[in-house]
Amino acid sequence: MSAAEIRVDQLTGLRTILASQRAERPGALSVAEVPGDPADEADCPFCEGHEDRTPPELWAARSGGSAPDSPGWEQRSVPNPYPVLVQAQSQPSQAESPRGELGLSSAADPLLASARTASPDLFGSSPASGSHEVIVNCPRHVVGLGELSGEEMAGALSAWRQRVAAHAEAASYVQLIVNAGSEAGASVAHTHAQLYALPFVPARVARERERFSSYHERTAGGQLLSDIAVEEIRRGERLVAVDEEAILLCPWASPSPYTMWLLPRTPEPRFDRDERGAALLARALGALAGALGCVPQVNLWVRTAPRATEQFHWRIEIAPRVGIKAGFELSTGVEVNTLAPEAAAERLRAAL
């Protein structure tokens, strides 16, 4: 691929510009690498034996019956000591709020007829209520998620699912992320995930929800991401790997180099109601390290169905820190990708 091309993301309708010729610029495909010498275990609050250095645990997987906030755990969840969201103190739900989500709409009066006689609320806000917790992926002091053994990876995903399930019925949306490396946003090197139980559905997720529902209606029962996956397998250009549980591919409108999606082979709206994907996630991270020649700093997140949503298909997105967003991307919201997903998938397949 030589000429620049605009592609539309099938799930959001957002545009990405593929500009492979820009990869020739100095530093265009620079990789942020995970440091080879992680922080000293003696100073790490997430290592086993340092339970007193975190807030009291919310949950832990303990096979030996050890006491809370003590050694003997496989995965452990604690409140984030620097939370983005704070626990609500008997706040009304969005459905009960007279002005609706963020004070910008009214569930009881969707056309805002009553507001026409009052001053418009141009500065609406609401409390940032919800939950923000940290899930430590394993007791060993490792930095990269890809360093986990198969058993540890399966345990980490099980922990993520249990914590998502703990909030899924109360929160409007539950976002789980992994930041690996300081440039990816991690302030503690030891591998961990973060969970945000949000009182609203983020606009990008709401847009996906609408497109899933619209596609289902337009195709008389079709499932958007499942149909995309079937076609990706048929074409093979962007397919990285398939196993008995899941599919790994570089999406059509990849926003950045080496972006990957991992999705179950059959549709399931909610991540917390599934058990698939751990083995292929480990392979994906291994392929990424092989293709890039190092263990890259990575952002990873789970996209799951918002509350009370039936037409959806969970997936894990993997985005290594390759290249830098500049003024065009920040000012327009349009991503520029200097490596076509077809080329990325070919390199990743070779590294498996």
Percent of the chain with pLDDT over 70: 88
The DSSP element (H or E) to which 319 belongs, if any, is strand 315-320
- Count: domains in the chain: 2
Q: What is the mean pLDDT of residues 150-157?
A: 98
Q: What's the domain range around 333? A: 5-35+203-351
Please check whether residues 171 and 82 belong to one and the same domain. Answer: yes
Q: Is residue 106 part of a domain?
A: no
Please check whether residues 136 and 233 belong to one and the same domain. Answer: no
Please check whether residues 151 and 236 belong to one and the same domain. Answer: no
**Given this model, what pLDDT does residue 103 score?**
38
Distance CA(311)–CA(96), nearest Å, equals: 25
pLDDT tens, 17-60?
A: 999 877 766 666 788 888 766 667 889 999 999 999 999 999 99
Which of the pair, 106 or 14, is modelled with greater confidence? 14
- Pick the last residue of a domain from 173, 197, 221: 197
Are 36 and 327 a contacting pair, CB within 8 Å?
no
- Pick the last residue of a domain from 197, 222, 237: 197
End-to-end CA, the chain: 23
**23 to 6, 245, 271, 334, 335: CA distances (angstroms):** 16, 34, 35, 17, 14
pLDDT tens, 275-287?
A: 999 999 999 999 9
pLDDT tens, 293-337?
A: 999 999 999 999 999 999 999 999 999 999 888 999 999 999 999
67-86 as b/e: b if 16+ CB within 10 A: eeeeeebbbbbbbbeebebe
**Given this model, what pLDDT does residue 121 score?**
81
Please check whether residues 284 and 323 belong to one and the same domain. Answer: yes
pLDDT tens, 100-136?
A: 444 334 344 445 555 555 667 889 888 899 999 999 9
Q: Is residue 312 part of a domain?
A: yes
Q: What is the mean pLDDT of residues 223-239?
A: 98
**Given this model, what pLDDT does residue 38 score?**
65
Q: Is residue 185 part of a domain?
A: yes
Please check whether residues 234 and 153 belong to one and the same domain. Answer: no
Please check whether residues 164 and 266 belong to one and the same domain. Answer: no
Which of the pair, 63 or 263, is modelled with greater confidence? 263
